[in-house]
Amino acid sequence: MLIDSVKAPSLSTPIPDTRHPSDHIPIMATFEVRSLLAQHQDCARAWYNTVAGRSGHVPLTRDGLSSAFFIFEVDSDDLVSQSEFLSCVSQQLGYDTLPDEEVNAAFTRALDPEKGGITFASFCTAYCDCLSKAGLPGMEDLRDAFKSFDKDGSGKLGYDEIEGVFTHCSPVALPEGTDIHAIVKQIDTDGDGHISIDEFCEGLTASWVRQASASSGRRASLGMVP
């Protein structure tokens, strides 16, 4: 993990020269290597924050969920008891000042009633469910972006205008041959030929949730795929 860096020197003339005999310039940076335990703890914090509704995070992969479960599951019986959960949140995650109501509610959301504790399957299910309910991060930014293209303030954009949103705002070039109109038609749920701001946000959120849940390996973790 990068924790510090020094600005590279600026050059007024080409190098190499008499002052800089090399064609390279020095770059100084300080890195800190995190232990495997620290990485597991980061995943556990991300899981807890999502399930407790504290803040949004980049979705954990199935490996990330396994790392998080490793921190909570202390005695290697594949089941997280309530006492294990409370102890982990306080000691391993460093959240020793959280309200008891919040921590207990998070435990209850992930609880498998038949097992009397949290299994890996219920652990993953709770995470994916809460991830879906929280929706796509940065929703306000998306609404602001939509409004910037909505020149007449009608709250709706035509297909060609939406195509402009994808073209100008996508961080990467769209694959050649992408049928943007077909994509937009999926978002236009009422079929009126225009995309409202709610349809726009709901469409992107639904797509993000599908990908996030797939990335988290929910089906695999529940034994639903070979």
Give yes or no for a contact between 48 and 72, defined as CB atoms under 8 angstroms apart.
Answer: no
Find how far residue 204's CA is from the centre of its chain: 14
Last residue of a domain, one of 134, 149, 181: 134
The per-residue pLDDT for range 187-222, each reduced to its tens digit, is 888 888 888 888 877 777 777 666 655 655 544 344
HSE, side-chain direction, 13 A CA sphere, residue 139: 15
- Apex CA 214: angle with CA 216 and CA 217, to 5°? 40
What is the CATH number for 201?
1.10.238.10
E-assigned strand segments in the chain: 2-6, 28-31, 156-158, 194-196
Same structural domain, 202 and 185 = yes
Examine the domain organization and report whether 125 and 68 are in the same domain.
Answer: yes
Q: Is residue 90 part of a domain?
A: yes
Cα–Cα distance for residue pair 180/51, rounded to 1 Å: 35
Q: Is the pLDDT of residue 223 over 50?
A: no
| 3 located within any domain | no
Q: Is residue 15 part of a domain?
A: no
Question: CA–CA distance from 17 to each of 10, 22, 25 (Å)?
Answer: 14, 8, 12
Shared-domain flag, residues 168 and 184: yes
pTM for the model stands at 0.59
Compute the average pLDDT of residues 48-69: 83
Residue 94 corresponds to which tokens in the numbers above? 């460093």
The pLDDT, as a whole number, for residue 95 is 92
Dihedral in degrees, nearest 10, Cα atoms 105, 111, 117, 121: -140
CA-derived radius of gyration, the chain: 24
Residue 16 covered by a domain: no
Residues 101 and 45 in one domain: yes
pLDDT in tens, 148-169: 878 778 888 887 777 777 666 6
At which of 134, 169, 198 does a domain end? Answer: 134
Structural domain of residue 81, as residue ranges?
A: 36-134
Which domain-ending residue is among 84, 108, 134? 134
